[in-house]
Amino acid sequence: MTDADELPEYTAAVALIEATGLTVHDSLRYDSEGRLARDTYLIAFPAIPYDVEQARFSAVPDFDTGITRVDLDIQAVATTARGATKALSRALRALVGQTLLVPRRSCDPIRLTLTTSAQDDRTIQPPLFYADGSVEITTRPGGTT
């Protein structure tokens, strides 16, 4: 279990992405020879959630009180710019506007906050391409389970 697994919003969002057939990891992948894996996949970076009612950008929330916001950063990795853009687009389509099911929390629809064009990394040959996006997940006390 990783630290990210302890954040229910992260787990629920990753499940939505993986339902599209995309693979989500928590870091870059390497092949058996220690080189960056040449494949199409996503990396999901969960941010520390914060309680909007306490200190908007710094307080770690008490999950039983107040509104909590989680920013989820997603990076698509692929062997082509089109592949990275397509993977990111699929992931964002799976998330944006959806309402997560999180135990004891009521969730707002997921909002898109950022996307970038695919960028290449020419320090490795042949290059890999990366495209980034971010979504905002807002939850509040309530919900079921």
CATH number, residue 12 = 3.30.2000.30
CA 53 vs CA 16, 48, 58, 61: distances in Å = 28, 15, 11, 9
**Cα(131)–Cα(57) distance, integer angstroms:** 25
**What pLDDT was estimated at residue 69?**
84
Nearest C-alpha neighbor of 50 from the set 71, 33, 35, 29: 71
Q: How many domains does the chain have?
A: 1
pLDDT mean by block of 10 residues, the chain; 145 residues: 62 94 91 89 80 52 66 94 96 95 88 92 91 92 69
Nearest C-alpha neighbor of 70 from the set 137, 3, 2: 137
pTM for the structure as a whole: 0.80
**What pLDDT was estimated at residue 17?**
96
| Domain residue limits at 91 | 3-141
Q: Residue for token digits 């990076």?
A: 75
